[in-house]
C-alpha cells in the first residue's frame, strides 16, 4: 500500500496565479486543513482566502489559492459553498482536493494511486 504525505505551508501572497478549478467545502473544513483564512480584499471580490503551498508525497510543492469569489454575503462556517481554486496548473486543484480528502477521512489507496498515476 502506498503512503501519501501531505504538507501544507501557508504563504502571505501569490502573484500571477489564475483560476484552475473549484471545490465544494465548508469554511470550517478549509480552516481545519489550511489554517485561519485571510480576510479577503475589498468585501466585493471575496471575503475569505487562503494562499498555500501543498507538498504531496515527494513533490516540491504546488501553489494554490482558495477563495469565495463574488458572493453577496458571508456564509456561516458550516455551509457548503463553491470555492475557487487558483494556481499555476491543474495540480493546484488536485492538491487541494487531496488535502480535503484527508480531512474528510476519504483518503484511501485508490485516491493515492490516482495521484501517483497522473
The stretch 70-90 carries a mean pLDDT of 91
CB 92 within 8 A of CB 62: yes
The stretch 71-89 carries a mean pLDDT of 91
CB atoms within 10 A of CB 105: 7
pLDDT tens-digit map of 21-38: 999 999 999 999 999 988
Helices and strands per DSSP (H, E), number in the chain: 3, 5
pLDDT tens-digit map of 4-20: 567 778 777 778 889 99
The residue with greater pLDDT, 21 or 44, is 21
The stretch 73-93 carries a mean pLDDT of 92
What are the two backbone dihedrals, phi and then psi, of residue 92, each rounded to the nearest 5 degrees?
A: -60, -45
Grid-cell match 462556517, residue found = 77
Model's pTM, two decimal places?
Answer: 0.81
Amino acid at each position: 500500500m502506498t503512503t501519501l504525505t501531505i504538507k501544507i505551508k501557508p504563504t502571505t501572497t501569490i502573484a500571477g496565479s489564475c483560476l484552475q478549478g473549484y471545490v465544494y467545502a465548508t469554511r470550517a473544513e478549509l480552516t481545519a486543513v489550511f489554517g485561519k483564512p485571510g480576510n479577503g480584499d475589498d468585501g466585493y471580490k471575496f471575503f475569505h482566502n487562503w494562499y498555500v503551498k501543498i507538498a504531496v508525497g515527494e513533490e516540491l510543492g504546488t501553489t494554490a489559492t482558495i477563495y469565495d469569489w463574488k458572493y453577496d454575503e458571508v456564509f456561516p462556517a458550516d455551509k457548503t459553498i463553491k470555492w475557487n481554486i487558483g494556481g499555476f496548473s491543474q495540480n493546484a486543484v488536485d492538491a487541494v482536493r487531496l488535502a480535503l480528502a484527508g480531512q474528510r477521512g476519504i483518503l484511501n489507496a485508490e485516491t493515492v494511486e490516482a495521484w501517483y498515476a497522473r
